[in-house]
Amino acid sequence: MDADHGIQIHQCAFLSRRIREKLESDDELLELIGENFDLMVSSPGLGEPIILPRQYTRHIGKLLQIRYIDALGDQVELNGHLFEALLSEESGARIVIMPEKEKRKWQQPNQEAVTLYLNQVIRAVPEAEL
């Protein structure tokens, strides 16, 4: 399950009960899957890639690991915080990432925000911050 504002555990439990009730009341379906089955209802969390453009807005301010195609056509990986998600179709949906700073500040110049059009993004995955 997924929603723009996230999903809580009680919502997963409610949906799981309702789906199980429907499955168990359908004799034809029970013949196909058997009476002993597992039903798992969950929400996408850390480590699950962002699939829909609208999901970016929920992750503003969070750390993402992004793989994208740069201007030269090369695949590049970037870790950074999602600063902005501009999803209007008129100007082309895009995101703005503030790259994560390296641990050794003296080795890295100030990095600027990176703007990526969604058609450049191959994979974006929310990461845990420690």
Q: How far apart, in whole angstroms, are the C-alpha atoms of residue 120 and residue 10?
A: 36
Contact assessment for residue 65 and residue 77, using Cβ atoms and an 8 Å cutoff: yes
CA 73 to chain centroid:
24
Instruction: Check whether residue 39 and residue 59 sit in a common domain.
Output: no
Report whether pLDDT(82) > 80: yes
Q: Are residues 60 and 38 in the same domain?
A: no
The pLDDT tens digits of the residues spanning 6-41 come to: 777 888 889 889 998 998 899 998 888 888 888 887
The total domain count for the chain is 2
Structural domain boundaries, residue 34: 1-43
Residues 63 and 116 in one domain: yes
Residue 13: its pLDDT value, please? 86
| Span 89-117, average pLDDT | 80
Task: Judge contact between 125 and 62, C-beta under 8 A.
Answer: no
- Residue whose structure tokens are 């799981």: 16
pLDDT score recorded for residue 44: 65
Question: How far is residue 40's CA from residue 50's CA, in Å, rounded to a whole number?
Answer: 20
Instruction: Report how far residue 97's alpha carbon sits from residue 86's, in angstroms, rounded to the nearest whole number.
Output: 12
Instruction: Indicate whether 50 belongs to any domain.
Output: no
> Are 29 and 10 a contacting pair, CB within 8 Å?
no
Buried b / exposed e over 42-65, threshold 16 CB at 10 Å, is eeeeeeeebeeeebbebbeeebbb
Claim to verify: residue 32 and residue 71 sit in the same structural domain: no
Check whether residue 36 and residue 71 sit in a common domain.
no
Residue 45 pLDDT grade (very low, low, confident, very high; cuts 50, 70, 90)? low
